[in-house]
Structure 1
Amino acid sequence: MKPLLCALFMVSSLYLCYVFLFGELASQNGLKDINFSVDGKNSWSYGTAGSTGHRSKQEDRVLVVSSHADFGVFGVFDGHGSSGASDFAANTFYPVFSRRIAEGQRLGEALQMAIEDVENMFMEKAHKQAWYSGSTACIAVVTPQVAIVGSVGDSRALVCVARKNSTTNLIEMDSTQLSKDHHPELAEERRRIEAAGGFVEFGGVNGELAVSRVIGDMEFKAFGVSAQANVVEYRIENSNEEFLVLASDGIFQRMSNQDVWDHESRSGLSQVAAVMIVEDALESGSSDNLSVIVVPLVGER
């Protein structure tokens, strides 16, 4: 037992040293504070990090439910036009999802229907109270066997895996995007928008809204903007290195999916990787709010 405690103490100490040094670096570069959260005590380990970046307010929100014995729930909500929609979605999703599960729905169906429920609930209030904000939603339900991702908008879900090449016996690093960026220029999205009487110009719906699926944004719903989520199921490979990453689009302004994976392979710890991803997004020139959740699918859990 003593060797285990010593090892845990050493890892914790190294992590705290990293955070301290990182904080010094951020201060020296004039960057805004990076907030982070870690948890390894509950059923599901994770690391999160976020920053206001170069914006005046943080409109991203994150959701973490890690204490459930059968599954973990993780979500990133990127708000715009205020944090009204992202606040509402982050606070409402899990109770609605839990009710769907209690009614006997399967995880994937409950995830998709709960996002639709949140949209309907928000829109009802938006019409009554003249709320014009909107939010993406990228939500993952993780079990020991699968990760199920539902998304609207352009926040992303990636799976980062180290695989052994059977021919060369070399370890190959790979990142796979599970979510779909819902941008109005995509042919499927453009057809729906134009069929509803809208148009796509300057990369936006009616020349304004940069995403074609979103919670809220009530003034665009008459022009084909939808809150129908894409739902994808990923079967966990039980690789030695396998992580799920959820992130707002600010992370990807100047970073590729592979750049995110490089942080996983270098750090090996979800807590450190989350902070490193936000740090590099800031230093590479991202001008947006930044939020990331890193969930180890094997190993740390």
Structure 2
Amino acid sequence: MSSTVLLNLLRCGRSTITRQTFLTVRSSPETLTASGQVGEALCGVVAVRQASGGVHRYDSGSVRPVTWDSFGIWDDRIEEPILLPSSIKYGKPIPKVSLSRVGSASVLGLRKQNEDRLRVSRINDNLLYFAVFDGHGGPHAADYCYTFMEKFIRDALEEEDDLEKVLKKAFLNADKALFQHLSYFNNPSFLTAGTTATVALLRDGIELVVGSAGDSRAMLCRKGKASMLTKDHTPDRKDERRRIQSFGGFVTWNSLGQANVNGRLAMTRSIGDFHLKTSGVIPDPDTRRINIQHANDSFLALTTDGINFLLSDQEICDAITQCHDPTEAADVITQQALQYGSEDNATIVIVPFGAWGKQQSSTAVYSMSRNFASSGRWA
């Protein structure tokens, strides 16, 4: 799709158009012969969604069947418009990601309280925000990040356009502000609270930037395969363990073979955990930038370790692919984690992309010979 065609679409005075109409124009040779005729052709087109998944075009009495192009199908009952400004900017059609289509679920497990938090919101017209926070030592840190991380991102956006720098600044500022907040209560136990933070920002429907501290994860399903966008920050990693030891901290292993910082914390980065800051536990996130390929990418999934401890990345990818919509998929994944013996809180956010429903995986046969032990952080 040339920039000339997209500009002529914009001249019709519409900020978004349906994918069916877009594909009708793309697929009609007569509308592409002269750039000056494209706008007139679009404004005279009526596209009707057919049950078979195709589109019929009606203009001047002609009828031409049009099948789905490279988007996937967004499920047979899901209609999503094209983001025209973003499509013009990047020179290719980009579907809108609606927050109403995002699926999420969070279950208690066998814990006394759910310390996980999730957040889905719109920062501005072209920037979406998704996050999971897995609290420990009480819900205080996760609650704070749930409430204020978005504010710190907005503040950073006033000074930075680079989303990776925005996330790094937001994480550090959230950690500093949390210390001040918890100090007001004059309760030393509050300062032992902490949380993981895995945050994804989607700009213009295509630029995805993920920041993560701790062992919650972000995973992209591309062509039916799980592609990890984050790495767990645990004492098992040599680079993380070396930092802990250089700060004077130490690493021990519990009876389940789980490594812990100072015998207490099963991660080496987090927001909060102020009693372990002098032992090398830091809030600095690792960040990753990637452009979404809507023709190949089915969804983004953010998960806490109540899921990751028992389901592999590919198992999560396969199970979601078999589901009708992201809401159903979120429920399936959390319930599957419980059935496999997770005692921890289990939380997931699923963001559908253009290839949702396009990849049909074979029915997965999950192994029941997995670890049924708790995924708790505290030894």
Provide TM-score, normalisation by structure 2: 0.64
Q: Is the 8 A contact 2:99 2:120 kept in 1?
A: no
SS in 1 for 2:221: strand
Q: 1:298 to 1:92 in 2, by over 3 A?
A: same
Tell me if 1:258 matches 2:314: yes
Residue in structure 1 matched with residue 269 of structure 2 by the alignment: 213
Counterparts of 1:139 and 1:215 in 2: how far apart (Å)? Answer: 13
Residue in structure 1 matched with residue 230 of structure 2 by the alignment: 179
Tell me if 1:149 matches 2:210: yes
Picking from 196, 210, 213, the partner of 1:136 is: 196
Gaps of 5+ in 2: 1-45, 54-73, 79-95, 254-258, 357-379
Q: Deviations over 1:221-258 (max 9, x none)?
A: 01011111000012211225521000111001211001
SS in 2 for 1:228: coil
Gaps of 5+ in 1: 13-39, 163-172
Q: Deviations over 1:4-49 (max 9, x none)?
A: 69999x959xxxxxxxxxxxxxxxxxxxxxxxxxxx9956731101
Q: Is the 8 A contact 1:43 1:67 kept in 2?
A: no
Counterparts of 2:97 and 2:277 in 1: how far apart (Å)? Answer: 42
Q: Is the 8 A contact 1:76 1:137 kept in 2?
A: yes
Counterparts of 1:268 and 1:66 in 2: how far apart (Å)? Answer: 25
| 1:181 Cα offset (Å) | 0.3
User: Which amino acid letter does the alignment assign opposite residue 141 of structure 1?
Assistant: L
Counterparts of 1:4 and 1:88 in 2: how far apart (Å)? Answer: 45
User: Which amino acid letter does the alignment assign opposite residue 215 of structure 2?
Assistant: D
Work out the percentage of aligned pairs sharing the same amino acid: 31
SS in 2 for 1:293: strand
SS in 2 for 1:103: coil
Counterparts of 2:139 and 2:124 in 1: how far apart (Å)? Answer: 27
Q: Is the 8 A contact 1:135 1:214 kept in 2?
A: yes
SS in 2 for 1:267: coil
RMSD: 2.5
Picking from 179, 194, 215, the partner of 1:123 is: 179
Aligned residues: 262
SS in 1 for 2:267: coil
SS in 1 for 2:168: helix
User: Which amino acid letter does the alignment assign opposite residue 191 of structure 1?
Assistant: R
Which structure: larger Rg? 2
Q: Which has the higher contact order (CA 8 A, sep 6+)?
A: 1
Q: 1:42 to 1:255 in 2, by over 3 A?
A: closer
More displaced stretch, 93-102 vs 76-85: 93-102
Tell me if 1:242 matches 2:298: yes
Q: Deviations over 1:256-283 (max 9, x none)?
A: 0011101222115211111111111111
Q: 1:267 to 1:77 in 2, by over 3 A?
A: same
Counterparts of 1:156 and 1:43 in 2: how far apart (Å)? Answer: 20
Q: 1:101 to 1:45 in 2, by over 3 A?
A: farther
Counterparts of 2:174 and 2:297 in 1: how far apart (Å)? Answer: 34
User: Which amino acid letter does the alignment assign opposite residue 310 of structure 2?
Assistant: R
Provide TM-score, normalisation by structure 1: 0.80
Residue in structure 1 matched with residue 248 of structure 2 by the alignment: 197
Tell me if 1:95 matches 2:151: yes
SS in 1 for 2:322: helix
